[in-house]
A and B are shown apart, each in its own frame.
Chain A
Amino acid sequence: DIQMTQSPSSLSASIGDRVTITCQASQDITNYLNWFQQKPGEAPKLLIYDASKLERGVPLTFSGSGSGTNFSLTISNLRPEDLATYYCQQYDDLPPTFGPGTKVDLK
């Protein structure tokens, strides 16, 4: 199985900050990567697919980049509603595998 790692595991930021989360795959997944946002008690919400494409309805403050094995998710202007846990997921190969998550909270 393809292993996914994320860093940091958690971060504290202020409203308005620029936040970057990184994700690494154990092998080349080209651009077959999703980013999800999950709030407590809720289902994950797809933010980014194909590493850099914004899902419909997702604010432009979210962006994704990367290819191969290294990827990143950036929130350009952190809002209170962005406080959540973020997961990357590869879908290049079965089984699709998720990263361990990065929890973003308020400084």
Chain B
Amino acid sequence: EVFLVESGGGLVRPGGSLRLSCAASGFTFTNAWMTWVRQGPGKRLEWIGRIKSASDGGTIDYAASVKDRFVISRDDSKNTLYLQMNSLQTDDTAVYFCTEGSFDFWGQGTQVTVSS
């Protein structure tokens, strides 16, 4: 059975940083393209970015709203996906989900609140 478990969320002040993790199990993580999606309060789902598998080049793509502030990475030896979030703004307040490349499987999400 596939499990994706996000962690690392919390309350952070504007301008601060936070690193989210997504621990994966139940599938071959090394071959998977992994994606971060977020959902602000009362807002639609928003794709943040994606990292391809190393065998597919490991390319990373970002949404314009987070490019140059957020960094997606992965550690295939630990079956873990990361999202480093810098220069956080109040608009970044959301539940952050990790999902396997085809959006078949999702984690439960982790809440990030940016507030002074």
| Chain A interface residue count, Cβ-Cβ cutoff 8 angstroms | 21
The main secondary structure of chain B at its interface with chain A is: loop
Interchain CB contact under 8 A, A43 and B106: yes
In the bound assembly, the distance between CA atoms of A91 and B99 in angstroms comes to 14
A8-44 near B? 1/0 per residue, CB < 8 Å: 0000000000000000000000000010100000111
In the bound assembly, the distance between CA atoms of A96 and B107 in angstroms comes to 18
B: interface residue count bin? 10 to 19
Specify which chain B residues have a CB less than 8 angstroms from the CB of A101 in the assembled complex.
44
Interchain CB contact under 8 A, B107 and A43: yes
Q: Counting CB contacts under 8 A, is A74 at the interface?
A: no
Number of A-B contacts (CB under 8 A): 40
Interchain CB contact under 8 A, B63 and A87: no
A72-107 near B? 1/0 per residue, CB < 8 Å: 000000000000000101010011111111000000
Closest to A56 in B: B104
Q: Counting CB contacts under 8 A, is B108 at the interface?
A: yes
Cβ < 8 Å to A, chain B residues 61-116: 61, 63-64, 97, 102-104, 106-109
Q: Which residues of B contact A (CB under 8 A)?
A: 44-47, 61, 63-64, 97, 102-104, 106-109
Counting from the closest, the 6 A-B pairs by CB-CB distance are: A43-B106, A98-B45, A96-B47, A95-B47, A100-B44, A98-B44
